[in-house]
Amino acid sequence: MRAVAEKFLWPQVPAEYRQELQGIADGLKAHGSKLDVMDVVVMNASLELPYYYDVVARQQGKPGDVKIGEHCSAFVATGSYTKDGRIVMGHNIWTDYVTGSRWNMVFDIVPASGHHLIMDGVPGLIHSGDDFGMNDAGILITETTISNFHGFDVKGIPEFVRARRAMQYAESIDDFSRIMQKGNNGGYANAWLVGDRKTNEIARLELGLKYVTLERTSDGYFVGSNFPVNPQLRAAETDYPNDPNFGDETRHRRWEQLMAENKGQIDVEMGKKFETDHYDVITKEIDPSERTLCGHIDRSSRGMKGWQAPYAPAGTTQAKVTDSALAEKMSFAAGMGHPCGTEFHAKAHLDAHKEFDWQRSELQDLKANPWIVVAAQSSPQSEISRGQQLP
């Protein structure tokens, strides 16, 4: 991975971000770590490197050898769908619990150029990774990965560079789309959900390598649960299964239900309910699993084909929701761990499922933490402090 990053990714990293990556490496060294800047680059590219290795495996006639992970449930709505007619956006991240339990940082960055930005992330990254954030130009950004995608251009610009650049420099939906498409390497292919609180417009940029679709509206919604939208992209760039019971499809149907049932009522509180929803459209019961918007693969005998085995310690590990009013104050509601209220206890789970015992030294409990409001430290408002618990 270090060799691949140095050969293909590092030459495309601009000086501004090389300085940040080197600064992280210098900090590690100061604390006695042996990791260097190329290790930090690999960490930042960890979500897109599997796409490179998948292409290599396919060239060697070994498709399916590489598991491309990370799944999410996200929405953005505006106009007649929201309570105040302005934008509401929400996102939860799905990951293995070893990783997700550490996805607990918020970056509040005032760069020398570009815009003040705030986003969630993991220690060591210069981008969000699961991509939920906003800038002071009024741009709100999130995404969900395109499931079963394949394709990677070694001559392209790393996804982590484009994602950070878009969060920092975009001043409009057109800006965002242009930045993400320029030099697109196909890595970490996503359906990006974007809002511009200045114009009240929202968009979905489905960014494949060969096929790119930009949809936008000032009265409607876009949802994401890892399903491909463009039929050409689905056919040519994915191995997406034709299975109505596939978890990405069941979550898609649930999103459509929730949007229809709650039209005109969507706000931050409603968004939190969406992101912690445990309704299974197949069984028509409350049953948290890989088929529900709030994912609990650790409770599923089916697992998640192509990514996680049955009962794997994986699923939703945190969630965020914001609206135009909160975004004006550079803030959002966030719930770490399982904000749905369902706890995960590592020792008990590993004792019951010894096939995952190799994770024992690193796997942590996931508590049912309360939702809080996180705000940029230099935000001009004062009524919301960093980490203040919501009423």
- φ and ψ of 8, to 5 deg: -105, -30
Give residue for tokens 């940040």. Answer: 20
Q: Residue 197 has what pLDDT? A: 97
Bridge partners, residue 368, by sequence: 337
Q: pLDDT per residue over 305-325, tens digit each? A: 889 999 999 999 999 999 999
Q: The whole model's pTM is what?
A: 0.94
Instruction: Sort 8 into a burial class: Cβ within 10 Å, 0-12 / 13-18 / 19+.
Output: buried
Q: Residue 390: pLDDT above 80?
A: no
CB atoms under 10 Å from CB of 153, counted, come to 16
CB atoms under 10 Å from CB of 105, counted, come to 14
| Nearest by Cα to 123 from 140, 106, 136 | 106
CA distance 58 to 47: 18
The distance of Cα 389 from the centroid of its chain, to the nearest Å, equals 23
- φ and ψ of 26, to 5 deg: -65, -40
Regarding predicted confidence, which is higher, 53 or 383? 53
Q: pLDDT per residue over 266-281, tens digit each? A: 999 999 999 999 999 9
In this prediction, residues 34-52 reach a mean pLDDT of: 97
The token pair that represents 277 in the structure block: 């929803």
With bands split at pLDDT 50, 70 and 90, how would you rate the model's confidence at 384?
very low
With bands split at pLDDT 50, 70 and 90, how would you rate the model's confidence at 260?
very high
List domains and CATH numbers for the chain. Answer: 69-389 (3.60.60.20)
Q: Residue 385: pLDDT above 50?
A: no
Q: What percent of the chain has pLDDT over 70?
A: 96
What is the average pLDDT value for the chain, to the nearest integer?
94
Task: Name the 3-class secondary structure at 178.
Answer: helix
34 contact partners, CB below 8 Å, separation of at least 6: none
